[in-house]
Amino acid sequence: MKKRIMAIALAVTVVISMAGCASQSGETKTNANENSGGEEGSGETSENTDVAGADAAGAVQEGGEITMLVLNGLVSDEEQGIAFKNVIDQYEKSHPGVKVTLQAASAADIKQSFQTAALAGVGADIVMADNSGHAIDMAAMGLLYPLTEITTEEELLSLYQPGPLNSGKFRGEYYSVPWYMDCCGFYYNKTHLEDAGLEVPTNWEELSNALTVLKSKGYGGIITYDSAYAFYPFFYQNGCQVIDTSGEIPKVVIDNEEGKEAWNYICNIIENGGMVESFKEANNWSKVYESFANGEATFLLGGDWCAGAIDSLAPDLDYGITVMVEGKAPATVLGGFTWNINANCKNPELAFDLIQYINSADGDEVLFAEGKSSARKDFDYAKTLEGKEKLEILTTQFPYTMPRPAIINEQAIDELITNAIMTVVYGEATSDEALSSLAQKINENIQQNYQ
């Protein structure tokens, strides 16, 4: 008897699932059909680009549907999610006939999710991308819509900070509209410094000295993410671009005079035990805060987001934030997110209009809710940093904030640099050996990815 019931139950589930299939596939049919028109659409629009300005308004008035793939937090019951929904609702209200559908993914998945869909000829019309080279990869794959078809370089340059804008520049064309940005700053443990009788280091030399003194007092040195991120500023400050992406084919300049100097400085810190043990395993940011909050490290190199995390882990920790230690010129490295339009999008003008709206003062409430800084030049930082005045000093660096090299497969390049640093950490290579082998490996990588 029991078996009969089981068999029947199974049969019922199968039937239900079949019914489920039928109804659900009905729903999606319409969606897919709309999307499949996308490829032709983009072809058409690119033809009448010269009248883009006038046309854009027309296209917007006609209405249409836009799908956006954003980070999870923007589609949530949290403050920023509510704010984002508000902004979208306002846009829909002021643009009758326009319908915006939100999709969400985690920061770790968003690129792969979009990429898979776009390669299959569909995908969201607008996608958020990390400005650490994600847009470059997608542009190289032909998945992004070039922005100068809709707007002009001058307009983009007049609106946005150069760093984030350049993060989406590939082969002379712009693909990303910057949204929010941050830069790598310098966090220090006040208690440790006072105990060691040290001032906050402001330049390279002071930093090396401070590390030596701290070590002799039994304090740890620097913690940062196990990647090239926090090491770029040393090269940039010394006038080395690491990889020169201005030409048709990128040129490795990490081993030029300035680069060597910066590299040797970094290796010197490592060899003198300036990095804490946790650095070796810091492959997520949580480990970084953990080390700083627990007092293992005295210095932390990271963006504005670290402050909130440290506060929640160790509310009593006495720490300060300042700009990166200075080299020959002020410079630091960029973080943040951009908006990108899918090459399959059938109404890029409308997509761009929506992006402009979110990026304008009308959409700033989203950034205020999260305490993020817009990449717009005329942004009101005071409002977003209310209660986080400590971070205000970092915004002074925005004009000097440079993106990581705008190169295909930036993640692979980053890995090569990190591995070169690790070989020094493990004592497997001297700084010179590591640098020459690194330069060679980056060159090989570039050769593979560029004609």
Partner 1 sequence: MESKLIYHKRNFKKNLPGYLLLAPATIAVLALSIYPMIRGIFLSFMNYNLVRARGDSFQTFAGLENYKKIFVNEIFLKSIGNTIKWTLVNLIVQLVVAMLLALALNQKLRGRAAFRILTLVPWAVPPYIAVMTFTFLYSAQVGILNILAVRLGVVAEAVSWLGNKGSAFWCIVALSVWKGMPFQMVFILTALQGIPGEVYESAKIDGGSAWQIFWKVTLPIIKEPLMLTTVLNVIGILSSFYPWMMTEGGPLYSTETIYTFAYRQAFVNHDFGTASASAVLLFIFTTILTWIYLRIIREKN
Partner 2 sequence: MTGKQIKKSIEVLIIYIFLILMVLISVGPFVYVVLTAFKTQEQIYDPSQIIPTYVSFDNFVKVLFHSNFIRYFINSFFVSAVTTGICVVLSVMASYALSRYEIIGADKIKMSILMTRMFPGVLLCIPFYIIMKQLNLIDTHSGLILLYCSFTLPFAIWRTNALFSGIPWELEESARIDGCSRLGAFFHVIIPVARPGLFVNMLFCFMSAWEEYMYASIFINTPLKKTIQVGMKDFVGQYTIEWGLLMTAVTLSLIPVILFFAMVQNNLVGGLAEGSVKG
The answer to whether residue 247 forms part of the interface with partner 2 (CB under 8 A) is: no
Residue closest to 334 by CA, chosen among 388, 406, 252: 406
Show the beta-strand stretches assigned E in 290-354. 299-302, 319-322, 332-341
The answer to whether residue 73 forms part of the interface with partner 2 (CB under 8 A) is: yes
- Any alpha helices (H) in 141-281, and if so which ranges? 153-159, 162-166, 190-195, 204-216, 232-237, 257-271
Contact 373, 409 (CB under 8 A): no
Provide the mask over 391-430, with x wherever binding to partner 1 is found by CB under 8 A and - wherever it is not. -----------------xx-xx--x---x--xx--x----
CB of 303 to partner 2, least distance (A): 8
Contact 379, 371 (CB under 8 A): no
Alpha carbon separation from 370 to 98, 145, 385 (Å, rounded) = 27, 28, 9
The answer to whether residue 283 forms part of the interface with partner 2 (CB under 8 A) is: no
Amino acid at 209: N
Provide the mask over 17-36, with x wherever binding to partner 1 is found by CB under 8 A and - wherever it is not. --------------------
Residues 79-118 that bind partner 2 (CB under 8 A): 102-109, 112-113, 116-117
Which of residues 57 and 141 has its CB atom nearest to partner 1 in the complex? 141
Which of partner 1, partner 2, none sits in contact with 216, Cβ below 5 to 8 A by type? none
The answer to whether residue 245 forms part of the interface with partner 1 (CB under 8 A) is: no
Which of residues 103 and 443 has its CB atom nearest to partner 2 in the complex? 103
Which of partner 2, partner 1, none sits in contact with 408, Cβ below 5 to 8 A by type? partner 1
The answer to whether residue 21 forms part of the interface with partner 2 (CB under 8 A) is: yes
Alpha carbon separation from 97 to 58, 68, 94, 106, 354 (Å, rounded) = 13, 17, 9, 30, 13
CA 443 to chain centre: 24
Residue closest to 327 by CA, chosen among 412, 197, 237: 237
Residues forming contacts to partner 2 in the complex (CB under 8 A) are 3-4, 7, 10-11, 13-14, 16-17, 20-21, 24-25, 27-29, 31-32, 69, 71-73, 75-77, 102-109, 112-113, 116-117, 119-122, 124, 130, 284-286, 290, 293-294, 303, 305-306, 308-309, 312-315
